[in-house]
Amino acid sequence: MYENIKYEVSEGIGYVTINRPKALNALNMDVLTDLYAAFTEIEADETVKAVIVTGEGKAFVAGADIAQMSQLNALEGREMMIMGHKVMNLIEAVEKPVIAAVNGFALGGGCELAMACDIRIASEKAKFAQPEVGLGIIPGFGGTQRLARLVGKGMAKYMIMTAEMISAAEAYRIGLVEKVAAPEELMDEAVKVAKTIASKAPIAIATAKSAINNGFDMDMKSASKFEIETFTAAFGSEDKTEGMAAFLEKRAPEFKNK
C-alpha cells in the first residue's frame, strides 16, 4: 500500500518504518505523503494501542531530501514545509502514544520527526543534529519550536546555530531523548515501552497526552482548568470503572477504550 514506508500491526502495536535505506531514509514529498496517510489510518484503527517509528538500515532519517529540495523555488519550498508541518502535527496530535526508536542518524527532518513523537529511545550509535544553517536554511518541519521546548531555548539555539552533531549520550543528557539502548536491544526496548503503555487504559493515555500537549503552552491557571476537563472525561469512562474495580479485586483490568 505504501511505497516509501513499511507499516504493520502486531499485538496492538503499529510499526512505521521509513524505507528508503539507499537514501538514508531522507524525507521527500512522497515519504511525507505516506506518513500522513499511515498516521491517518492509525488514528482510525482502534486495534492500535501504541506506535513505534523507526528507519530501515543504518539511519533513522538522515534529513530531508536535499536533491529534491535544491530544485524547489521559495514557493515550492514553502509547500513542502507546510506538508512537513501537517505530518509532524498529526503525529504529535494522534491519540495513540508514538515512540521513536532512533536506530542511527536523526538529522534535520529526522530529528524533527523524532521530536514529533511522544517518547524517544535512541541506539547508542544514534546521532542527532539540526544542520540546516549549513545549507543556507533553517529547520522547517517544526524544529525551531519543538527543540526549544524539549531542551530549552539556549541549547536549541546552540544546536541549530552551530549545526553540531551530538551523540545519543549527549542527547539523553540534554533531554532530547528519554532512553538510550544498545543497538541490538533498541527495538526490544521500544516494544517493551509500547506494550507497557498499551496495557494501560486507552482513554487515560489519550487524555493524558492531550492534557500535556495542550496545557504546555497555556498559563498555569488555564492549563489547570484544561486538566480538570480531561480528567473528568476519563473519570466518566467505562475504563475508569473497570480499572478501579480491577484494582480493588486484585486482578488485571480489561480495558475497552470507552
For cell 498555569, what's the residue? 220
The model's confidence at residue 258, banded by pLDDT at 50, 70 and 90, is low
Total-model pTM: 0.94
Q: Which positions ≥6 away from 218 have C-beta within 8 Å?
A: 226
Same domain membership, residue 168 and residue 55 = yes
Residue 236 and residue 165 share a domain:
no
Counting residues of the chain whose pLDDT is more than 90, the rounded percentage is: 95
Domain limit, last residue, from 162, 181, 198: 198
Beta strands in the chain (DSSP E): 5-10, 13-18, 50-55, 59-61, 98-102, 105-107, 119-123, 127-129, 166-167, 179-181
DSSP letter (8 states) at residue 20: -
The structural domain count of the chain equals 2
Range of the domain at 240: 202-249
236 lies in some domain = yes
User: Amino acid identity of 74?
Assistant: A
Work out the mean pLDDT of the chain and round it to a whole number: 96
pLDDT tens-digit map of 200-253: 999 999 999 999 999 999 999 999 999 999 999 999 999 999 999 999 999 999
Q: Is residue 96 part of a domain?
A: yes
The tens digit of pLDDT for each residue in 102-157 reads 999 999 999 999 999 999 999 999 999 999 999 999 999 999 999 999 999 999 99
Per-residue pLDDT band at 65 (split at 50, 70, 90): confident
Give the integer Cα–Cα distance in Å for 17 and 6: 5
Q: Are residues 239 and 135 in the same domain?
A: no
Residue 257 has pLDDT above 80, yes or no: no
pLDDT band at 17 (very low <50, low <70, confident <90, very high): very high
Same domain, residue pair 145 and 182 = yes
Question: Does residue 227 share a domain with residue 190?
Answer: no
Is the pLDDT confidence value at 186 over 80? yes
226/187 same-domain check = no
CB atoms within 10 A of CB 257: 15
Give catalytic residues, as residue numbers. 112, 132
Rounded to an integer, what is the distance from CA 241 to the centroid of its chain? 30
Domain finish residue from 198, 217, 236: 198
- CB contact at 8 A, 118 and 64: no
Verify that 67 and 135 share a domain, yes or no.
Answer: yes
